[in-house]
Structure formats: structure tokens, C-alpha cells
């Protein structure tokens, strides 16, 4: 017999959910990406001005550009992950679609009648607007 020692359970529940505040949907990801690109362009224009009278106190343009470009890079990784997940999902959905269509054709051949109901819709390529990526969660895609 094996003796392990004292094991105590106090009923503590620990959830391993990732932060909801660090999650972003694909639709929101595209919106934020466009916003960050426009901010970077504005900062470049601001840095190219010779006298820079409109620069607020404490604003270091180079640091702000670097920060936004870093955010853009992280969002590019998230976008790539979501697109990879969408490609995997589409492959699985395409296999299901083809199997269903083959069943319908087989049933039509054996019975001689068209199958009832609407035919299944083919899978749509690309990520859906609601697909989410969480920046706080560790992912196997990174």
C-alpha cells in the first residue's frame, strides 16, 4: 500500500478562465487595427512638423509611435491565430458539408426522389465577427 501523507481539501474553487477584459473579437480587432494605424499616421505627421507647437507636455512622439506599433504587432499575431482557427474550422465544416451532400445524393439515387427540405449551406471561409482571441490566455497557436 502507498502512503502519501495528509491531503486536505477546503472546498476552494479556482477557475482557470482567462480575463474577459483581455479578449477581443475579430470584428473589434479590425476596428482597433484601423484606429491604431490612423493614430500612427497622425503621430508621424506630428513628428515631421518642424516647430511642433501642438505637442502636449510630456508627450514623446517616438515612444507613442513605438507603443502603437507594438500593439499593432500583437494584434497582427491575434489576427493570424483567428484566421488559422477559421481555416481549421472551415476544413472540418467542409468535410461535414460534403458528407451530408453525399448522403443526400445517395438517398436520391436509392429512392428516386429529391430529398425533402433545404439543402445545407456550404461553409463560409474566413473568421466570423464573433470569433475571439484572448491576450491573457496561453495559446498553442503562438
pLDDT higher than threshold 90 for residue 1: no
Query: What pLDDT, on the 0 to 100 scale, is given for residue 60?
Result: 78
pLDDT at residue 23 in the model: 85
For the record, the C-alpha cell of 139 comes out as 495559446
pLDDT given at position 56: 61
Q: What is the pLDDT of residues 44-100, one digit of tens each?
A: 887 777 555 555 666 777 888 899 999 999 999 999 999 999 999 999 999 999 999
Q: Report the alpha-carbon distance of residue 8 to residue 134 in Å, rounded.
A: 34
State the pLDDT at residue 7.
Answer: 60
Q: Dihedral angle at the C-alpha atoms of 135, 137, 140, 142, nearest 10 degrees?
A: 30
For 10-38, the pLDDT digits (tens) are 766 666 666 777 888 999 999 999 999 99
pTM over 0.75: no
The partner residues of 132 in beta bridges, in order of sequence, read 25
Banded model confidence at residue 140, pLDDT cuts 50, 70, 90: very low
Alpha helices per DSSP H over the chain: 26-48, 61-111
What confidence score (pLDDT) does residue 22 get? 80
Exposure pattern of 105-130 as b/e (b: 16+ CB <10 Å)? eeeeeeeeeeeeeeeeeebeeebeee
**pLDDT above 50 (res 141):** no
Amino acid at each position: 500500500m502507498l502512503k502519501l501523507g495528509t491531503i486536505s481539501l477546503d472546498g476552494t474553487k479556482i477557475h482557470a478562465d482567462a480575463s474577459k477584459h483581455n479578449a477581443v473579437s475579430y470584428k473589434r480587432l479590425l476596428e482597433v487595427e484601423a484606429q491604431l494605424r490612423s493614430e500612427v499616421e497622425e503621430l508621424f505627421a506630428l513628428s515631421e512638423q518642424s516647430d511642433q507647437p501642438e505637442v502636449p507636455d510630456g508627450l514623446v512622439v517616438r515612444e507613442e509611435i513605438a507603443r502603437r506599433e507594438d500593439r499593432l504587432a500583437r494584434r497582427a499575431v491575434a489576427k493570424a491565430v483567428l484566421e488559422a482557427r477559421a481555416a481549421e474550422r472551415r476544413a472540418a465544416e467542409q468535410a461535414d458539408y460534403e458528407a451530408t451532400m453525399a448522403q443526400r445524393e445517395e438517398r436520391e439515387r436509392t429512392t428516386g426522389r429529391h430529398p425533402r427540405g433545404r439543402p445545407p449551406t456550404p461553409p463560409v471561409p474566413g473568421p466570423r465577427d464573433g470569433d475571439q482571441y484572448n491576450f491573457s490566455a496561453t495559446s498553442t497557436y503562438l
